[in-house]
């Protein structure tokens, strides 16, 4: 699976960004892994292709930031998608 380019930290905006739109699948994969109880290290290696042994701190930041954004999408972001679809 192709991994879209990613930043170390996901956006924290109060609206859906272009970055979020490029990473919808990433967010879904993180939510699935979290729901399945997957170890964060395994998830970040698979989803972001990061080697946890080489840079554990960065890997943790990438994982936790994007997982937090994924949960934001499920609690707030989806509303922005609905509003956007009504405007089209």
**Residue 85 scores a pLDDT above 70:** no
pLDDT value at residue 44: 97
Instruction: Give the pLDDT confidence of 55-79 residue by residue, as tens digits.
Output: 999 999 999 999 999 999 999 887 7
Tokens of 8: 């170390």
Torsion over CA: 32, 38, 41, 46 (sign): negative
Whole-prediction pTM value? 0.88
Instruction: Give the pLDDT confidence of 12-38 residue by residue, as tens digits.
Output: 999 999 999 999 999 999 999 999 999
């Amino acid at each position: 699976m192709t991994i879209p380019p990613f930043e170390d930290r996901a956006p924290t905006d109060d609206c859906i960004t272009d970055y979020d739109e490029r990473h919808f699948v990433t967010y879904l994969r993180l939510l699935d892994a979290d729901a399945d109880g997957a170890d964060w290290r395994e998830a970040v290696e698979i989803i972001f292709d990061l080697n946890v042994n080489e840079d554990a701190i960065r890997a943790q930041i990438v994982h936790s930031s994007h997982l937090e954004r994924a949960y934001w999408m499920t609690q707030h972001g989806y509303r922005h998608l609905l509003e956007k679809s009504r405007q089209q």
